[in-house]
Amino acid sequence: MNHIHIVDTTLRDGGQAPGVAFSLDEKLTIARMLDDIGVHEIECGIPAMGDEEQHAVQSIVNLGLTARIMTWNRAVISDIEASLRCGVSAVAISLPVSNRQIANKLGKTRGWVLERLEDAVRFAKEHQLSVCVGAEDASRADHDFLVAYGSVAQAAGANRLRFSDTVGRMDPFNLHDRVSRLVAQVNLPVEIHTHNDFGMATANALAGVRAGAAFVSTTVLGIGERAGAAALEEVTMALNHLYGADLGLRFSLLPGLCRYVARASGREIPPDKPIVGSAIFWHESEIHAGAVLKNPGDYEPYPPEKLGRSREIVLGTHSGRRAVSYRLGRLGITREPDEVNHLVKRVRSLSGRVKRVLTDEELMGLCR
């Protein structure tokens, strides 16, 4: 678990989400922030898209970041040449591997796919590039062909194989089985790349790691095509806290990165968004609030300080005497027990009418 590599593709896969259009300055800022957190590799764009994209990739390369900078490419020599002109040290070379995409998307055969893969990988390696071979739609591919695809990639000099659940159709149990078999049969490190169409991208990413994948692909906030991809903040925190993986990341910087990407992509972060939602360390109900005031770990899976955050005892329709007394004490206000009991009723009533937690000003108003 301590040898898992995080490959963030916010600037490539995330940038393909409908309506997302990162400016050059935003791309550079996101790249710096990812590097500051300690992401191991940044997949930053598709140079074959044209001059503007190539300029952005070159600008990211020129930042001199610690993270390795990679681009996405078709198995086309001109794509790889465009990446070389950008100065990157790594490329992802992707081809469909399912029968349906080979036939419908490419109009080709399996043999053509393997020949094109070998030519592209050999060309990239001749130019001293690190090569990640993408198996697009791997979750719907015939397993024996996927193994053959990986074997051709390995023989041509590829550095790893990316298993892509392109349309997010797998569940963690089936994905674990598929990736376990692939890891056992292909002599290449495997990367897991999952999508969130059924809400299982993070779970599938973790299942891939449990199955032996050494690289895991993420995007900030899980932004990406359709329902998005595995979220950087969810995957990394789960690897660290559930599996004890030491990823070398600065988790306290995650909330700031997520807020920046949300603004740049025109997204809002829901208050209950795992890891970075504004309300995930709020405690309202009397049972929970009372317990947290004694021992926070009773109702918190990890300390908020890990993320540079703090917990909050809030007042709402489920609050009781301990929560109200705590908030009064924080304001330097003392009240007799009977007065606190009366305030509890008024807090619940007002919160029910306004349909949200109460502010300190509203609490002081009730006291008056």
pLDDT at residue 334 is higher than 90: no
Q: Is residue 277 part of a domain?
A: no
pLDDT at residue 105 is higher than 90: yes
Place of tokens 């789960």: 238
Alpha-carbon span 198 to 184, nearest angstrom: 27
Please, where are the H alpha helices in 161-269? Answer: 172-185, 201-210, 232-243, 254-265
131 with 239, same domain: the answer is: yes
Question: Which range marks the domain in which residue 362 is found?
Answer: 282-367
Burial of 251 (0-12, 13-18, 19+ CB in 10 A): buried
Reduced to 3 states, what is the DSSP secondary structure of residue 216?
Answer: strand
pLDDT at residue 241 is higher than 90: yes
Q: Which of 265, 293, 317 is the C-terminal boundary of a domain?
A: 265
pLDDT at residue 72 is higher than 90: yes
pLDDT at residue 1 is higher than 80: no
- At 120, the pLDDT band (50, 70, 90 cuts) reads very high
187 with 146, same domain: the answer is: yes
57 with 109, same domain: the answer is: yes
- Report the chain's mean pLDDT, rounded to a whole number: 96
CATH number reported for the structural domain that contains residue 144 in this entry: 3.20.20.70
Q: Is residue 273 part of a domain?
A: no
Q: Which of 240, 265, 290 is the C-terminal boundary of a domain?
A: 265
Reduced to 3 states, what is the DSSP secondary structure of residue 330?
Answer: helix
pLDDT digits (tens, 9 = 90+) for 176-234: 999 999 999 999 999 999 999 999 999 999 999 999 999 999 999 999 999 999 999 99
pLDDT at residue 2 is higher than 80: no
Q: Is residue 270 part of a domain?
A: no
238 with 289, same domain: the answer is: no
- At 368, the pLDDT band (50, 70, 90 cuts) reads confident
Q: Is residue 225 part of a domain?
A: yes
pLDDT digits (tens, 9 = 90+) for 254-299: 999 999 999 999 999 999 999 999 999 999 999 989 899 999 999 9
The 10 Å CB-count burial string (b at 16+, else e) for 226-244 is eebbbbbbbbbbbbbeeee
pLDDT at residue 110 is higher than 90: yes
